[in-house]
Amino acid sequence: MGTPFKNLLFSSPKIFSPISPSTNFVINSTKKSNIAKQLFNNDAGAIKKKVQSNVKIHVTDYDLTKLKVPTPTDILFNTPNKNELLTNGVKEKQEFNILGKGAFGTVIRGINKGSIVAIKIVKNKNNNHINEKNALHLHHENIVKTIDITFSSTLNYFLVLMEYFPKCISLQQLLDSEDDITESQKLKFALDVTKGLQYCHENNVLHLDVKPKNMLIHDNCCKLCDFGNSVLKDDLRNFNHQGTIAYTDPEILLGKLPSTKSDIYSLGIVLWQIKYRKLPYENTDNNETIIYKVVKIGMRPKGYEENCEYWKLFCQCWDCDPEQRPQIGDILNELNSLLVTHK
């Protein structure tokens, strides 16, 4: 079957994890835009809009004394290079302990006040540091802590200082591996992520990029990370969505504003992925086709319909009607009950 999406406009891939790159696409969504409708009419796709915000940002001003210089044999990020990082980013010939990289940023290991941290170096444009700052006040065992943001409007890049884990992998890497994962472990990781997401919602934050690549596993604990697409629930005036299509709420694809139920939809896709260890829509040709089928005919990731509560749970999470999706507290209760039965 042919697709009418020939001119859909997407951005380049963007990094969203302290350890691994991720391919995301920009969807500009406001009250007046309707992405899916434009696609169905063979339109040119999303209308680009510059993000503006009057929100006051509590971040650290650029200061060379903020980061202590490590020894050359320990950590390769040092103070003399910091100004160059904030001006030019990471160049190929520079020697740093790189944890991950992508088209929009690089994550390196560095030192902050004597402690090892993960430092994400991001291109400074369209006030994109505003999204990252939403995580500054989040302190939860199932969320990778954002320690500080080093930002100056006169510099080309800004730094996001995050909690560092010496031995960790993303949930996506684990699901892609050949390692055995017990049902109890799957439920534990699902429960961890849901707890972290609940804490976000309780603190006025919508994550809006919930997916396994944005979840780190350390000491058998799964942590939600990367708030580069987050927004405040009570400040959606200039919402400009950047997210991975396969996990994006159809309501957002239709041009509507996000809500907590948008994160619940994404969580449902993740719960499915944890169970089957496959990528959603992996056999679908392109994102335009995914958008059309998800919105127009209600397509969801394939699986074997089972008469079990876990199956029912993620199906409820990705319901076409946001009002029919469960509250996050109910999801936690169900996952807790399921985990008890598998111990």
Which segments are annotated as binding site for ATP? 120
| Binding residue numbers | 120
Q: How many CB atoms lie within 10 A of CB 125?
A: 13
d(CA 229, CA 227) in angstroms, rounded, equals 5
